[in-house]
Amino acid sequence: MDTFNLDSFDTSEEDVKELKLWLFREQVRLKAERKELDELYAKFMLDKESFKKEMDDLKKKMSRDSDTLKHQQDMVDKKLLMLENAYRQLDKDKQEFEKQKRIFEADREYANNHTKNYEVFDEEFSFFQGVNSSLALKKRYKDLIKIFHPDNMCGDKVTFQKIQKEYECLNALYMEK
């Protein structure tokens, strides 16, 4: 814009008009700039409020996300603890199972080694059914021998041999116990 030079200022009427015109133009320019500044300030304040609201929303969202993350981390920790406990229990159960398996295998091996030489008799046709001790076994054996000995009138050699075999097997089993 034009600037007014005071050094060349005369008090003439024309100079006063020129000065008034310059002042008017300057006032109009300043009002326009003032209006522009006010608009910029209003826009700045709106942007500031919008930014502040956005920051508050982001802070709330971050807080919620942080709480959610903490909750999820707690859940993961609990699940991890449950898994660790389950694996420990599984390991204990596995060890117990292996122990029982070894005992079973040992019992089966013992049974296989000690019953190989003995014939297994069917309980239904056993002459010594209901016998549960060595003494009862001997008593039943003596009674059966009296009845089925081949020298007796009712005696039978095959039945006598079956009684003899069964007695020997059962007697060996009672002796081992």
Residue range 74-103, pLDDT digits in tens: 999 999 999 999 999 999 999 999 999 888
pLDDT at 114: 62
Q: Is residue 127 pLDDT above 90, yes or no?
A: no
Question: Quick one: tokens of 30?
Answer: 């300043």
Q: Residue 106 — pLDDT band, cuts 50, 70, 90? A: confident
Separation between Cα atoms, residue 42 and residue 51, nearest integer Å:
14
**pTM to 2 decimals?**
0.38
Cα(68)–Cα(61) distance, rounded to whole angstroms?
Answer: 10
- Window from 60-64, 75-79, 132-136 with minimum mean pLDDT: 132-136
**Rg from Cα positions in the chain:** 58
Q: Across all residues in the chain, what is the average pLDDT?
A: 86
**Which pLDDT does position 8 carry in this prediction?**
58
What CA–CA distance (Å, rounded) separates 86 from 78? 12
CA separation, residue 90 to residues 75, 84, 85, 95, 171 (Å):
22, 10, 8, 9, 44
Helix (H, G, I), strand (E, B) or coil at 12: coil
Has residue 118 got a pLDDT over 50?
Answer: no
pLDDT band at 117 (very low <50, low <70, confident <90, very high): very low
What whole-number distance in Å separates Cα of residue 168 and Cα of residue 119? 10
Q: For residue 96, what are the CA distances in angstroms to 44, 82, 91?
A: 76, 21, 9
pLDDT (average), residues 99-109: 84
Which residue in the block uniquely carries the two structure tokens 């660790």?
A: 84
Over range 8-32, report the average pLDDT: 88
pLDDT tens-digit map of 156-168: 888 899 999 999 9
